[in-house]
Structure 1
Amino acid sequence: MCLGIPGEIIEISEERPDLAKVAVSGVKRTINIGLLSDDPPVPGDWILIHVGFALSKIDEEEARAAMEFLESIGRAYEDELAALRDSRID
């Protein structure tokens, strides 16, 4: 199952503005935000992430609802968090 998980933008890379550090359930990772170049996120924005890429911007209420849903489905959510932990973009 492929899921998008919500994350909050912590900072945008100065050297690579297509990369941002995000926080997802206590996990902090660098992800690619290049797909959102038409409406670039800024620190504090919430985004939907899949396999290290930001797919869309969402609001905090949507992020909270998505997290509640993902936590309720268990294993698929854990698998997605594991994929995020294992992803590396340098």
Structure 2
Amino acid sequence: MCLGIPGEIIEISEERPDLAKVSVCGVKRAINIGLLADDPPEPGEWILIHVGFALSKIDEEEAAAALEFLESIGKAYEDEMAALLESRID
């Protein structure tokens, strides 16, 4: 099962505007936001992430609801978090 994980944009890379530092459940990662070039996210906004790529922007309420749901399904959520931790975008 493939899931999207909500994350909050912390900062956008000045050298690589297609990369952003994102906090996902307290884990900070570099995420590729290039797919959102038409409506780029800004610090403080939430995005839906799958394997290191931002798929869409979401609001904070959607992010909270998604996190609550993901935590309730257990193993699939743990697998997605493991994939996020293993993904590296430099």
Aligned residues: 90
The question of 1:85 aligning with 2:85 is answered: yes
CA distance in 2, matches of 1:69, 1:25: 14
Measured on the aligned residues, the alpha-carbon RMSD in Å equals: 0.4
CA distance in 2, matches of 1:83, 1:21: 17
Partner of 1:39: 39
Partner of 1:4: 4
Unaligned stretches of 5+ residues in structure 2:
none
The CA deviation at 1:26 is 1.2
Segments of 4+ moved more than 4 angstroms: none
Partner of 2:14: 14
Partner of 2:72: 72
Normalising by structure 1, we get a TM-score of 0.99
CA distance in 1, matches of 2:27, 2:75: 17
The CA deviation at 1:10 is 0.3
Unaligned stretches of 5+ residues in structure 1:
none
